[in-house]
Amino acid sequence: MFDYQSFNIRERESFWKFPTHYDECMEILDKKFDSFDLKDSSNYGINEKNELVFIDYGMSKQLYNEQWVPAVERGEVPHIEIHKCDICGIRKEIRIYGEADNDRRCLECGKE
């Protein structure tokens, strides 16, 4: 996270090393397995060589569109939006559970 938000890992690529064959692996995951959201920083860790380690393969684009989006719309799982937290005042990722959710607190300030 940077400024309390996840980001595309290419936006800060000078902070770490990309492992050998990284781009080829991402292309295989995208094209062969229809993977979704491969470059989000929240899907990575960093090893002792300061290389990115992919830790969350997520879901396929089809699964995202057919199951995740409807669950978000029903408020069963959170949708991440960027807002100013009503408690700490920092603009960051806020979990929103459906259209009726007006609670704009961040996780650190008590939102679950």
Query: Is the model's pTM score more than 0.85?
Result: no
Give a three-class secondary structure readout of the chain. Answer: CECCECCEHHHHHHHCECCCCHHHHHHHHHHCCCECCCCEHHHEEECCCCEEEECCCCCEHHHHHHHHHHHHHCCCCCEEEEEECCCCCCEEEEEECCCCCCCCCCHHHCCC
Is 106 within the bounds of a domain?
Answer: no
Share of the chain above pLDDT 70, in %: 92
Supply the pLDDT for residue 89. 96
Supply the pLDDT for residue 5. 57
Supply the pLDDT for residue 93. 87
Is 17 within the bounds of a domain?
Answer: yes
- Per-residue pLDDT reduced to its tens digit, 25-79: 889 988 888 887 787 777 888 899 988 888 877 788 898 899 988 998 899 989 8
Is 41 within the bounds of a domain?
Answer: yes
Domains: count for the chain? 1
Q: Which domain holds residue 9?
A: 1-58
